[in-house]
Structure 1
Amino acid sequence: MPHRDLLETMLERQEVLADFADLALQSEDLDEVLQEACRLVAKAMGTERAKVLEMEAGDESLLVRAGVGWAAGVVGHVRLPMDKHSSETFAINAGEPVITRDIAQEERFDVPRFMKDAGIVALVNVPIFLPRQRAYGLLQVDDTRPRDFDQHDSAFLRTYAGILGPIVDRLLKLRQLRSTEERFRLTVEAATDYAIFVTDAEDRITDWLPGAAAVFGWSAEEALGQSAAMLFTPEDRAAGVPERELETALREGSAPDVRWHLCKDGSRVFIEGTRRSLSKIAGNGFLKIGQDVTARRLTEERLSAGEERLRLLSELVPALLWQTDGSGDGMTFNARAQEYLGWSAEQQMQAGDWLDAVHPEDREAAERVFAEAFRSGRPLEHQHRLRGSDGQYRWFLVRQIPWHDDQGQLSQWFGAAIDINELRQFQMRQDVLVAELQHRTRNLIGVVRSIANQTMAHTGPSEAFREALDHRLEALSRVQGLLSRAEQEPITLRRILTLELDALGAEGKRVVLEGPSVRIRPSRVQTLALALHELATNARKYGALSQTGRQLSVTWTVRDSPTGRWLHIAWCEEGVTGAPTDQPSAPPEGGYGRVLIERALPYALGAEVTYALDPGGLRCTIELPLDPPDSLRSI
């Protein structure tokens, strides 16, 4: 639980304790007090059921003395045996809480039948002790849902039971003794916790209750007759705090007592309480009531220190940081953001105000992205330029994430803008460099074509060689063109096919392309494109694109497998009878195109290839992984 929520919960529970104490001190009916104790603790813990179990004479059974949320016939009637299989007995004997988060998985203790019938799933109980550690019974909270009761829950219940014990002890005694001195009545009625003692007019301790002994460590025998100033720290005594507190209580009737106090063993506890002046009837002394809130105080100090560390850390991070409420209003920024944007620390920006700092060309897109994030509650990531206090714009990578409270409600947004101006400039220079390399690569292909032509002129003409080489170099050039635009235009299988078939002048009606949009990795484009070029060239020379009435069909699908996604390509030329008889026969192992398709594709891309020419036509299938393992090589 976040520190802020934890603190709020603790404060709410303190209010419950105070409400219970006020009610308990106004009532002399034990049943009424126990019933209200169950109601308040169920409210504080967010459950529908709670109960108090009272040990009966002989310590052999526990009576459900009070409770809320139970069916008729349970409270005041159900008794539980105190045996070794009982979590209630264990808690009382061990003097510590028992937590069961899911009784279906509980193997330590037996769960009573009436609780199972009521649908109880989770529970936490704490023993109730009377002064001098006399066991009275048990306070138990039950829930019909699995519940992750934690140390804060058990600590609260132990405090609650610690208050309940002395109150139960008082009410039990009041059954036998109905009248009491006003001093005792005032002490009990004013109590908000159990660290209570009384002093005389000279501030000497006259009554030292068990709660005070538990908090400060001195027994009643040790404390009686001593000055209450012994509880103040040395620095407070040196500063005259005890005397000023006494004077304020005499003058105004009460004085706050909220500070660190000293214990018998030298340790310190933080007490939140008051000193009240008593009437003459009560002895002309003072009543001091203090609540040990050391744990809460330390939590507050840790929270404050944590917030300071977080503030310092945010100043060390080289980023502009901000937070807003759930709707995007009330934006607050760290010092670095204020310095860069030129805003003052007192300035609180509302939704839309920050857009003034966004570059005009980026403003519409930035506004749209943020509006969609606030509407959908999803994180965002965007790049845009922000104007600094010097009037210059720089590129920033902007990220913003939502934060939800315990009820799942979006209550805040946290954002960061990281300066990527140098990175963007580097990427722009890199794009220029890549474009230049692609241009030079295509020029180099032209040089290779020229050299090949000159070589062929000296070694003898071979028109078939020149034509084949030209076509393959042109295919390479087209591939390089695709790769040069890969950042702006993702390379898809349809784009590669269209490029190759258009280059051969294939007519639209004779070619059918069908399949989903599939992106091809740039590292795999060249080999796949050359293979498709060979198939397309063969179709133009000897296949479906060269014979009247024939049709070329290229279809592809994507399937998932345990090893990743696979692309299935089916190249079909219907009714093709093969190469004309006057064409030179290919070598037994096949020509360059066949070798490229049947050998290079499996080697370079991990593909599975079939190639068949029969009376029905030509059919070539290529299956290759879209998510190749690192071991695959490229050529």
Structure 2
Amino acid sequence: MEVLDRHVTSLSEEGRFRLLVDAITDYAIYMLSPEGIVTSWNTGAQRFKGYKPSEILGEHFSRFYVDEDRAAGIPERALATALEQGRFEGEGWRQRKDGSRFWAHVVIDPIRHPSGELVGFAKITRDLTERRAAEHAIRQSEEQFRRLVQGVSDYAIYMLDPNGNVSSWNFGAERIKGYRPDEIIGRHFSTFYTPEDRAAGLPETALRVARAEGRFEREGWRVRKDGTRFWASVVVDVIRGDDGEVLGFAKITRDITEKMETQRALEQAREELFQSQKMEAIGQLTGGIAHDFNNLLMAVLGSLEILKKRMPQDLSLTSLVDNAMQGAQRGAALTQRMLAFSRRQELLMEPIDVSGLVRGMMDILSRSLGPLTTIETSFPVRLPTILTDPNQLEMAILNLVVNARDAMPSGGRIVLRASEESIAAGKGPLSAGRYVRIAVIDEGEGMDTKTLEQAVTPFFTTKGVGKGTGLGLSMVQGLATQSGGRLILKSRPGEGTTAELWFPVVAVEQRAAVAADVRRADDDARRRLRIVAVDDDGLVLMNTTLMLEDLGHTVFEAMAGPEALDILRKESVDLVICDHAMPRMTGAQLAEAIRSEWPEMPIILATGYADLPDGAGAANLPRLGKPFSQAQLADAISRVASQGA
């Protein structure tokens, strides 16, 4: 009875186990005989292999293998491995009833009787096709990403371990930084930093910020393998695991040296353009003020000259007039400097031997320095010829030497040096060509960057109130620029100052010297002329008329060009003196109109500007610089009268 109960109980457990196995649909679970014949078949095996139990029981399990695996004897090796090692496990392609393939994970366990005899095999198969496809897609994506990262050449993309050691290295990193993977992997990334940045702890700061904020981004100098530096844009991102632990860092570096240099050049060009526009605006304002001021000085000087000639010879009165005239002449000198800065001064351009000009100035330069300052010269025996106004060049050199003296209140040495230089194309602010460089070098206090930038700005001075006009360097710069050259200042605090005048070399034709008789014939000087004086400023016109009449000439006044033409059509006229800067019709335009009707009519153009007047042939007109004295006016008339004779 007890034996029967145990048998019933056993049958019940076996039934329950069979129900469990048949209920599993995600695994094919079945039995094989020792020869590999299928002896049982569950629902999962039927579901993804396609065979009903009646179709597969009694068949050899090798029919699930693909042809190439059967030909290679893989089914037999699987059973042999299970027997030898107690278990076989592997993956491979298997075949369904309909011929389609699936990727299977297979486990085969031998089943033995308690006596040790082989009863058969238990075989469990799982369909991993979808998982394998997903894994393949992941691997393919990872491989594509790896190839992408490795193929990037403009960015250094690499990984760091949590301590900052390099753990991967792409082609861009090798190209930018110069290290091969085997030379850098395992080394600390601080290798790429400059010594000063390492000393300041910047590599550690980068990792600390990335840990705390998740990202670190900055620009700075980095060092290549060969020691050269480049300006880098750097991004460091922290990489964390699912538990938040730091696994390492992703680091991207880009060489933006060229971009930085381009940006710097652009900013410099913008600054130079701004300075140029600022100086041009100041120059136009200064030139306009100087022109109007000259007209006022004309009225003052002209009136004082006539007054001095006609007043009683009272010493107390004439001294006052002389004092007033000296003040007006100093004002005229000031306007001349303003015009020099604005490049509107009248220059008498001549070929100049710089060495000879400076040698002729040594006495006046020595007298200007005082006992505490010495001057040394360093000039070659011969220098190429330059073209500029010799008087203005002498004033410019004297101005620079005096500035050097003032920069050394306790005395010192000034070096005046000249040399021939060549400028290559695209080098610096000067055009390519040959130049003569005149340098004035002092041992004074020097200038800081801010003072140096303002040094040539009109009315800027460091000499204190009442001790300088602030137009000296502006005048020097105007002369150099108007002559096709440039003034260059170099200075640092405590290292003195070097002021350089650069003038282009000119080719001067060798011409036979012709002696010019500058003396005017007495009869030309005493000749009485009928003159039309034209000026839109009533004060200037009145004084011009007074000076001409005092010289004995007959004067017809006109305040505009059309009015002067009307006079010429009605009166017999020997000469026209006209202002250039007049509204509606300029002096140059009036000269053209006169030449069209009276081609031989002598014309003198009165102007303070160096700009060539508009109009064909107007540039060849005799000029009279404003403000002019009666003697200068008489000399201009005498020259024109002599040419007409």
Which band: TM-score by shorter chain? 0.3 to 0.5
Q: Name the TM-score, length of structure 1 as normaliser.
A: 0.41
Q: Name the TM-score, length of structure 2 as normaliser.
A: 0.40
Larger radius of gyration: 2
**Higher relative contact order, chain-length normalized (CA < 8 Å, sep 6+):** 2
